Homo-oligomer: A and B are copies of this chain.
């Protein structure tokens, strides 16, 4: 029950989703140009929906588009990554605190179910999607639509690097442990513990992402 695809989604929005996955998967290196014509041919559509999808991804911060000069995958500087995590700490901390008293048996079961699904996720992209779903369910009871949208927005430019951290010597288990600790703290209604765990969770992720970002090379 992520976002119930009731609307069949227009070509442009569907394409935006496919492109987001492709970027997360490393289909284009940061700085590499995304040719409208090429994408249009690849997905069998015209350039119009391609342009709209690119504009969407630009507004999400995944692409940098220059006038008449094409779109390229953004290469966030480490300071920007740092800033994004600072913002996430603020906003997600607030969301978690507000959600805490509003969780019930049902929402807690849902959290456990999502985490179990996350353990079974085999491909990296599926894991990212599942992680987003988990955190959305965690923050959902706060009833803060704008903050939740911001949470998604702040993750978008980051997830591309998180994917790389899901390799062989994965942090997957560590993240899973922290998720379960979060569930326990929420179930116990322990705000302080939940906040501390979330902060540790995000700080650990920050380190991993910064490393992946730095290892990305220059050119």
Instruction: Point out residues on A near B: beta carbons under 8 Å.
Output: 7-10, 48, 51-52, 55-56, 59, 61, 66-67, 79-80, 83-84, 86-87, 90-91, 94, 143-147, 150
- Are B55 and A146 in contact, with the CB atoms below 8 A? no
> How far apart are the CA atoms of A146 and B8 in the complex, in Å?
32
- Closest Cβ–Cβ distance, residue A34 to chain B (whole Å): 17
> How far apart are the CA atoms of A96 and B165 in the complex, in Å?
34
- Closest Cβ–Cβ distance, residue A6 to chain B (whole Å): 10
Given A59-B56, A67-B7: A91 in contact with B80 (beta carbons within 8 A)? no
> How far apart are the CA atoms of A153 and B153 in the complex, in Å?
12
> How far apart are the CA atoms of A214 and B49 in the complex, in Å?
38
Q: Which of B10, B67, B87, B146 contacts A84 (CB 8 A)?
A: B146
- Closest Cβ–Cβ distance, residue A12 to chain B (whole Å): 8
> How far apart are the CA atoms of A59 and B149 in the complex, in Å?
11
Of all chain B residues, the one with the shortest Cβ separation from A9 is B67
Residues of B within 8 A of A56 (CB): 55, 59
Residues of B within 8 A of A55 (CB): 52, 55-56
